[in-house]
Amino acid sequence: MKHVVLEKLTADELTQLLDKGNEIVLNPKGKSMLPFIRQGRDKVKLGRPMKIKQGDIVLACINGRYLLHRVYVLDGENVTLMGDGNLCGTESGTLADVVGVVTEIISKKGHRHKPGKAWLWRHTRRLRRYQLKAYRKWNRIFNI
């Protein structure tokens, strides 16, 4: 298992590591993937993106910035990404910008599970503000 620091790698170098079959595990930063991926608690395992589908969580390098977001719209070679913890705001790029796809989410205790497509979450964006507010309150109370 190879842990990498994204800031020290270019997208091409990361792609080469994945092409060679390296297992790359990242510590995600930020709150954009709440509640499914949490900074400081979860890690993600990346694989080489073979066939990207709507709902996949991907690592993309857009305008020199790495983003770990979910694929919301896939239109030919164009892809629109949005974090699960975001209320609005998307990033647009192409399939060539996608460096890796999340194959596993690893919890603090070492439990591994495959990420789902979050169909219900993606289709209830109007309710997301309230869902995230409840999640954050629950998290504060029970310190999970």
Spans of all domains in the chain:
2-142
Q: Which CATH architecture has domain 2-142?
A: Ribbon (2.10)
Position 5 scores a pLDDT of: 55
What are the pLDDT digits (tens) for 63-119? 888 899 999 999 999 999 998 888 788 999 999 999 999 999 999 888 898 888 877
Position 95 scores a pLDDT of: 94
Distance CA 87, CA 89 (A): 7
Residue 13 has pLDDT above 60, yes or no: yes
Position 91 scores a pLDDT of: 93
